[in-house]
Structure 1
């Protein structure tokens, strides 16, 4: 990809983040993790191990950030389950890296896509209700 296109994409993401609500930030993080996982699969297939390491590290950092962003007091069951699922993903990606396993990355992508799909379906009204509840607790 040319430098100009990369720069344009980076500015687009930064601009999107600058005006994003918390829901959109999570969407962007999930998308970033998925993109890095897809790149890592390509790097493994091409035996580009430094590229694999870099993109898997980025994906793992994003998944870790998603895990840390969970509100463990809001709905404990959901938060606990998501925390455990993110933990599973991180451990699976460590194995994927050491084994150069495209299959393990694909499994993590499937899990993350399922979570992202559910997240994407949250209505604006439900988001606003969640923001209201969060501000009342603060």
Structure 2
């Protein structure tokens, strides 16, 4: 397996906030791939992209500090659980409207983290 050296350096030197942003970027790309696969009736491609997206959402969810994160951590947990549940529905029903809504949520969250990064 070969890695893009630029991407490898970007990940290795990223701050925790930048890691979160990179994860959001990757999951958004994967969900856009899901949309493309649904449009092309590529069932296996859709499933593969959903599984990868689900793993990233689980990583984000598992990284939440529920003891110190307060309402922000609780709200993010609720959103991640909603997204995970939505991925099941999207997979079963090819629901592109719900998929679009999930992508919008993730893009909004990413923008929020980018705002945090710019203030730090």
Give the structure, 1 or 2, with the largest relative contact order (CA under 8 Å, sep 6 or more): 2
**Same fold by TM (over 0.5)?**
yes
- Name the residue aligned to 1:4: none
How many residues align? The count is 120
1:100 deviates by: 1.1
> Does the alignment pair 1:51 with 2:45?
yes
Q: Any gaps of 5 or more consecutive residues in structure 2?
A: none
What is the 5 A alignment of 1:46-125?
46-123=40-117
> Does the alignment pair 1:34 with 2:28?
yes
- Secondary structure (helix, strand or coil) at the match of 1:71 reads coil
Equivalents in 2 of 1:17, 1:35: separation in Å?
17
Q: Any gaps of 5 or more consecutive residues in structure 1?
A: 1-6, 127-138
The 1:8/1:120 distance shift into structure 2, 3 A limit, reads farther
Q: What is the RMSD of the two structures over their aligned residues, measured on CA atoms?
A: 1.8
